[in-house]
Structure 1
Amino acid sequence: MTAGSSHDGRLLVPLYVHPAVDPAAWRAVAAAGPARVAGVVINIADGPGDAFDNVFAAGAEEVRAAGIPLLAYSDTDYGRRPHADVVGDLLTYRQWYAPDGVYFDQVAGHAGALPHYRRLATAARAAGCGTVVFGHGDHPEPGYAEIGLADLLVTFEGDWEAYREMTLPLWTGRHAAAHFCHLVYDVPAEAAAEAAALITARRAGVGCAVPGSGDNPWSTLPFELSALQTQG
């Protein structure tokens, strides 16, 4: 998965809305294509759910057919969730929806958890995942950026006000911007351009800024795709 700036079309989209609820959102993402969307995180129920979903599978296939990588969401509970349970999520996703990679969420950031996440990354690649994303939500210890671990680190996930106050650790400057992603929600429409510029200025090669808030802000699309959703 390659990456450019957040405002030239390279977005990581957490698409946490069922295609039966908002089919226009799924069509909009597919219509944007891989030139603008670096990947889509699919998430049925904080994981693959209890049973195969035909409607969800059809939505996922539409996005995949557009050439956009699908990333399966799996919660790691900051290292507390057993390795077998996390890998079980991934294998179920692979069987049902054939994602291209995995988005491990709630990833711990302390050095003591590194061996656990090395094992998870190794298991994911052994299961056929071409892309491994670690969703820290904050800057972890520098060791998490080591070569061969995760392809992408989500080093910010939070609201717009918190993002405006964020500072970058110096160690991030030793790595390519394509290694980092910032996910920002509760962004006012009038601040959309500012958010995109700030993501780029902070050397996050992949990003996403959405207007949504509350329990599931990722049920809304990034501003860059909202026009496509209306057209859909």
Structure 2
Amino acid sequence: MSRSKQGLAVLSRVLIPAATLLTIAALPAAEAGELPRATEKVKVLVPAYFYPTWWVGSPWDDLNQAASQIPIEAIMNPASGPGNAPNPDYLQAVADLQAAGGKVIGYVPTGYGSRPIGDVMFEIQAYLIWYDVDGIFLDEMGDQLGTLDYESVYCLIKLYQFAVGHKLRVVGNVGVPFPEAEAYLDATDTLVIFEGPLSNPEVVIDFEELPIPPGGAFAPGLYQDPGQEFQVSAVAPNGFLSTYYAREAGSGGFYAGSNAIGASTEATITLNRLDLQPFSLRSIDVARYFIWNEGNDPVTLTFTGQRAGGGTVQQAFTVQAPIGTQAFDTFSFSGFTNLTSVTWQQESGPAGVEHQFDNIRLERMGANFDAYPTEAPYDGLDPWFLQYRPRRFANLVYDVPTADDMEDALDKAIEDNAGYIFLTDDILSNPWDTLPAYWDEEVEAIREFNSSE
């Protein structure tokens, strides 16, 4: 039997009510205080949101190999939580990583404070009973949607140490504005204070992956880019989705080609991010739907951007390419920043619907590791995290393209007082569903740093 299976057996028979445990003790949160970086080694906190196909090999095998070289802590997540029953494949993966010297903690969502404490504790107990994990990862920490008492959850987890016979770590991932995150240190041993991309590069929606047969094809009026980050919808006046009529490049004289799309009926076209986070719109290519459509000339479009903080911004453009010319005009926007959505109309005239569009150029806004923690949106904020031990903080950074970028980001995370770090070249929609292509180089870079301390 691994560790204290007897204690786990007791826990499995008696799910201790939260209210009862709170009357037993109120444990203090993990200590804070300044400590030089040189006294702590870098550890890796891996969101291991990939299935352990141990019989054919999986990234879990790579974690096992790395655990003999650097401190590894993997976040297991069988079903956005522990699921309804123990999974034998995860049982094998957890046992193998622990045997290799690594640690495993269980993912529990908290719904930004909206989940009842009983539901949260039930899932925590399931991880302890089924998998004998080394701790718990509390995601979506915040008070936006409810009043979950995170400090009580922390105390209860610490009390379970007596049943399982070993220490339990509590790692939290905050979803509150950066200045408010410090308060959650009282409910965690380690706090993820950065999770996001390395930078906010330009995104171009070019529709090149559309499966368009010769002559064009109708498609549902809801398009998502390959990264599943942005969507473009076309809604007809009756409230239902319009359809898109998409054309392949070089498909004849009636269309501008270049895998452009346009609504096939009158419609309101809306561009937004799937996660509803802000973005900037740089430019868009627009052409007449039929290049000979004299009946619809001139084609003038008015774009309306909805700002994240309220209010709108508008800009109008008129297609300048001469009638009969198979070409797009590029419209560049001014002031279309910090937007939650952009809308414009597909009008219909004597010659049919009026325009098609292509090459929408955007830029994500918000947190990115290049800006953290001194540039917008962090500029002017108190660097409170420098007052604590590095082991209190974690940085999880995705969309780090190359091994050189990884090494630069690793140096930056260490300099910014992170004790737990994970860097990956994976991207949205799920940037944690595999290990990076440069995983071996990342392990070696961390091993070398730890050896030098």
| Fold match (TM-score > 0.5) | yes
Alpha-carbon offset, residue 19 of structure 1: 0.6
Residues 79 and 107 in structure 1, CA contact (< 8 A), matched pair in contact too: yes
Alpha-carbon offset, residue 135 of structure 1: 0.9
Instruction: Tell me: CA distance 1:181–1:224, structure 2 relative to 1, closer, same or farther (3 Å).
Output: farther
Distance (Å, rounded) in 2 between the aligned partners of 1:130 and 1:34: 21
2:179 is equivalent to residue 179 of structure 1: no
Task: List per-residue Cα deviations over 1:67-113 (Å, max 9, x = no partner).
Answer: 21111100001111111111111111111111010000011178x95
1:81 to 97, 104, 115: 115
SS of residue paired to 1:164: coil
Instruction: Tell me: CA distance 1:175–1:105, structure 2 relative to 1, closer, same or farther (3 Å).
Output: same
Residues 174 and 181 in structure 2, CA contact (< 8 A), matched pair in contact too: no
Code of the residue aligned with 1:181 in structure 2: it is A
Q: How does 1:31-110 map to 2 (within 5 A)?
A: 31-33=65-67, 35-108=69-142
Alpha-carbon offset, residue 38 of structure 1: 3.8
Distance (Å, rounded) in 2 between the aligned partners of 1:228 and 1:171: 28
Task: List per-residue Cα deviations over 1:121-153 (Å, max 9, x = no partner).
Answer: 11111223520111115633422224xx31101
2:349 is equivalent to residue 135 of structure 1: no
Distance (Å, rounded) in 2 between the aligned partners of 1:29 and 1:137: 27
2:184 to 119, 125, 144: 144
Instruction: Tell me: CA distance 1:36–1:58, structure 2 relative to 1, closer, same or farther (3 Å).
Output: same
Code of the residue aligned with 2:372 in structure 1: it is M
SS of residue paired to 2:58: helix
Distance (Å, rounded) in 1 between the aligned partners of 2:442 and 2:421: 18
2:159 is equivalent to residue 126 of structure 1: yes
Distance (Å, rounded) in 2 between the aligned partners of 1:223 and 1:103: 25
Code of the residue aligned with 2:185 in structure 1: it is A
Distance (Å, rounded) in 2 between the aligned partners of 1:207 and 1:222: 13
Distance (Å, rounded) in 2 between the aligned partners of 1:57 and 1:225: 24
Following TM superposition, where does structure 1 have runs of at least 4 consecutive aligned residues deviating by more than 6 angstroms?
Answer: none
2:198 to 160, 184, 200: 160
Distance (Å, rounded) in 2 between the aligned partners of 1:227 and 1:182: 18
Code of the residue aligned with 1:180 in structure 2: it is F
Tell me how many residue pairs correspond in the alignment: 220
Q: Which runs of 5+ in 1 are unaligned?
A: none
Instruction: Tell me: CA distance 1:20–1:150, structure 2 relative to 1, closer, same or farther (3 Å).
Output: same
Distance (Å, rounded) in 2 between the aligned partners of 1:53 and 1:67: 21
SS of residue paired to 1:106: strand
SS of residue paired to 1:218: coil
Code of the residue aligned with 1:19 in structure 2: it is P
Higher Rg of the two aligned structures: 2
2:443 is equivalent to residue 213 of structure 1: no
Q: Which runs of 5+ in 2 are unaligned?
A: 1-36, 162-166, 200-367, 375-381, 444-453
SS of residue paired to 1:178: helix
Residues 15 and 41 in structure 1, CA contact (< 8 A), matched pair in contact too: yes
Structure showing the higher strand proportion among its residues: 2
Residues 407 and 442 in structure 2, CA contact (< 8 A), matched pair in contact too: no
SS of residue paired to 1:158: strand
Residues 73 and 103 in structure 1, CA contact (< 8 A), matched pair in contact too: yes
SS of residue paired to 2:149: helix
Q: Which residue of 1 aligns with 2:407?
A: 193
Residues 107 and 138 in structure 2, CA contact (< 8 A), matched pair in contact too: yes
Alpha-carbon offset, residue 24 of structure 1: 3.0
SS of residue paired to 2:396: strand
Task: List per-residue Cα deviations over 1:156-180 (Å, max 9, x = no partner).
Answer: 1111111111226321121111211
Alpha-carbon offset, residue 48 of structure 1: 0.7
1:19 to 52, 56, 59: 52
Distance (Å, rounded) in 2 between the aligned partners of 1:137 and 1:13: 18
Residues 181 and 206 in structure 1, CA contact (< 8 A), matched pair in contact too: yes
Distance (Å, rounded) in 2 between the aligned partners of 1:69 and 1:219: 19
Structure showing the higher helix proportion among its residues: 1
Identity of aligned residues (%): 27
Residues 109 and 136 in structure 1, CA contact (< 8 A), matched pair in contact too: no
